[in-house]
Structure 1
């Protein structure tokens, strides 16, 4: 009951408090803008920084499929900024306020380059010179983090991978012969939103009244997945799953044992196969896909603190 009342108060507050005032009350400073990628795509971006002290490190954050960075996703960024980290994120192509047909991602490799370009642009700011930088990705964003690592193996000091979509779970993946039919049809109608899968939000969020909150996101994609996007995600996740042994950066992977959107066994396989000398895995018994919003407040706090401990340890090692 208390948790429900807190969420109702939060919604009321957001509806009546200017955004800038909200961030000040949270003890951080935040900004939003648009960044034009090298391929000319206009991408919406946000930053969340400590208010009274220099940042300890940079966190580059990537949201999941159908999500964006302006609703529930940014609660984690606000928390990390309160803990002394400078966080940056962008809405991916076709998501949130960025350009592109809604939820249409025809080429993830181009999305990876969009992210790398923006993150490197931030790193060039003199105020951040010499700071360690970490990738952070949820679901599809976790897979994109690994693709960024493959593209720029020495570019980042570590990664936080939250329920990464290294392979689409068989529990939500269309059965044969549907994938083969979809692949064929996507050659002619890639933007067609007809893939027969359920709304993943309801399979991701455990707490019932938090489903209501998540569904209120005005920019959340509610349609069926587009053919071209699904075919591309199948291709990319198959590729990532075959390259788990090439991962060679410090990372923590966090997954719920009851996740039916992405497979915790694939996160276990990542942990076992990765070449990284510094790797950590956390499997949370009974938790679902949305670890940092959709669980009880107590569970969300547990996951947040595990991430914070991991980040603090890596930052402290650099100063010893």
Structure 2
């Protein structure tokens, strides 16, 4: 029997998370291999503790957490601010155990079940950890609610009355054929039967995104699917498996198994397959496929090529003509839509308007249209990106000041520079020098006005410049030790442009300096944007090519930077990363 230890760590927002730890059996020789367990919804780490022995992996250290709001962890029972909070908790958990126990990500395997499997798959998708293997048991991508129109009904009630809780309807004898395990489920005081509707609806939303974009997942993945599952649907599990981007994948249908796959009476069948898969993945060196040529070959390139084609059929062309005509009409009374039509919906002027988030129009109807426009999910993501940028900018400035270094900042495509100027005004110890650059004369003019309004002319300067000219960037003076690239690379699908820009920054930034960069790995409105909105580039359709986070991080690594940390909005649209130049 393994010896269990009870531990805890503090997550990103101060929430204390409980976890169990089982050292490798031969404690005299510390193993660098680790297995992390994510429990089922409503449950806790004690419900997967039996796996520490039953998996028969004595050379592995094993960790299992109580997710926020479950078991012995803090947080309201069965609730969280959103599902992305749980995914970020997972990132903090892995960061904690790698630092505390001297582990490398490539020496970690994950086994996750049900809701825990959705957390794990979203974490692997969003944060692109270089882990060795991922085993998902009956992932809860779509819960069977059995009530007609249950999800739309819950959405309507949630919008009307706010957050509320629903109880799990599943009886223990429909979770497992193991009578003792079913009995213990009923008697376990740490089981949390209620779940908040907010979290339940978010589970559906995140699952839908992860299934659609599973090609971005390159970690070797095994699915263990219960053949007689009364809790979750099998079709989304199959869609996820079919879409997976890793060639190393397996899907096992386990006949007669109920939902508690890893707690079933005949669970040894599932555990033997998981053990074999994990040991097989560890038998060869960790491998991450290169995505540096994804601008030429791959599914995001195919997606973009399809968006360049005119809409097909008879109805779709008429539909998009109607949408564009509606936008043109709305632009006559909505200030934000008018600005987008005049300067481009991807322009610095539009971005600054979105940041300010103050609906304006020529009439009450115009203000209402402007409000709806500013509340679109893409613009909400942009405003969250600004907050994440400000957070990492403060962290980078603090790191440099703690090293007693001068803080020389450059933003190579600043737009109006609002987010960086807002940040500077919030901190007590100002940077030594800030250079804002942009290719647009309008942005330079309006950015300079904003600098003067905020009284920062003594340390901030704005100039015109090309963010893709390697020589210009290499000759920046004074040499920056903190560079920011926000909202730029997302607008250009060509990786050679990004390579030139990053290489120029690497030429300018000394070893030990920092880079903050953004990315757009996902957007639910790509088709609408391509068909209806125009770009700042001569009013052409605004067609974007998404970059997976792996692709963006590899471009940054190629330039000599190592990623330190990352932030992502709750919808999975925009990421902000901090990297340090290492060579």
TM range (shorter): 0.7 to 0.9
Find the counterpart in structure 2 of residue 155 from structure 1. Answer: 130
Counterpart pick for 1:275 among 245, 254, 260: 245
Matched, 1:315 2:270: no
Q: Quote the offset at 1:242 in angstroms.
A: 2.0
> Which residue, 211, 214, 226 being the options, matches 2:182?
211
Matched ranges for 1:1-320 at <5 A: 26=1, 28-52=2-26, 53-55=29-31, 57-70=33-46, 72-80=47-55, 82-125=57-100, 127-129=102-104, 132-169=107-144, 172-176=145-149, 178-187=150-159, 189-194=161-166, 198-199=169-170, 201-223=172-194, 225-293=195-263, 295-296=264-265, 299-318=266-285
Q: Is the 8 A contact 1:168 1:237 kept in 2?
A: no
Contact 2:130–2:219 at 8 Å: present in 1 too?
no
- The whole-number CA distance in structure 1 between the counterparts of 2:130 and 2:106 is 12
Which runs of 5 or more structure 2 residues have no equivalent in the other structure? 287-583
Q: Distance in 2 between matches of 1:166 and 1:36?
A: 28
Distance in 1 of aligned mates of 2:40 and 2:19: 15
**Secondary structure of 1:180 counterpart:** helix
Structure 1 residue 241, shift from structure 2 partner? 2.5
1:200 Cα offset (Å): 5.5
Please report the TM-score for the alignment, with normalisation by the length of structure 2. Answer: 0.46
**Change over 3 Å in CA distance of 1:129–1:93 after alignment to 2:** closer
**8 Å Cα contact 2:78-2:193 kept in structure 1:** no
Q: 1:281 to 1:119 in 2, by over 3 A?
A: same
Q: CA deviation at 1:138?
A: 0.5
Aligned length: 284
Q: Please say if residues 186 and 231 of structure 1, whose CA atoms lie closer than 8 Å, have aligned partners that are also in contact.
A: no
- Secondary structure at the counterpart of residue 124 of structure 1: helix
Shift of 1:142: 0.7
Q: How far does residue 214 in structure 1 lie from its aligned partner after superposition?
A: 2.0
Bigger Cα displacement from structure 2, 37-46 vs 204-213: 204-213
Does the 8 Å contact 2:225/2:252 carry over to 1? yes
Instruction: For 2:171 and 2:59, locate their aligned partners in 1 and report how far apart those are by CA, in whole Å.
Output: 32
Normalised to the residue count of structure 1, the TM-score between the two structures is 0.81
| Alpha-carbon distance in 2 for matches of 1:266, 1:55 | 37
User: In 2, Cα distance between the equivalents of 1:130 and 1:106?
Assistant: 27
Checking the alignment, whether the CA contact within 8 Å between 1:55 and 1:84 is kept in structure 2 is yes
Higher mean C-alpha displacement, 133-142 vs 56-65: 56-65
The 3 A distance-change label for structure 1 pair 115 and 173 is farther
Which whole-Å CA distance do the structure 1 matches of 2:162 and 2:69 have between them? 14
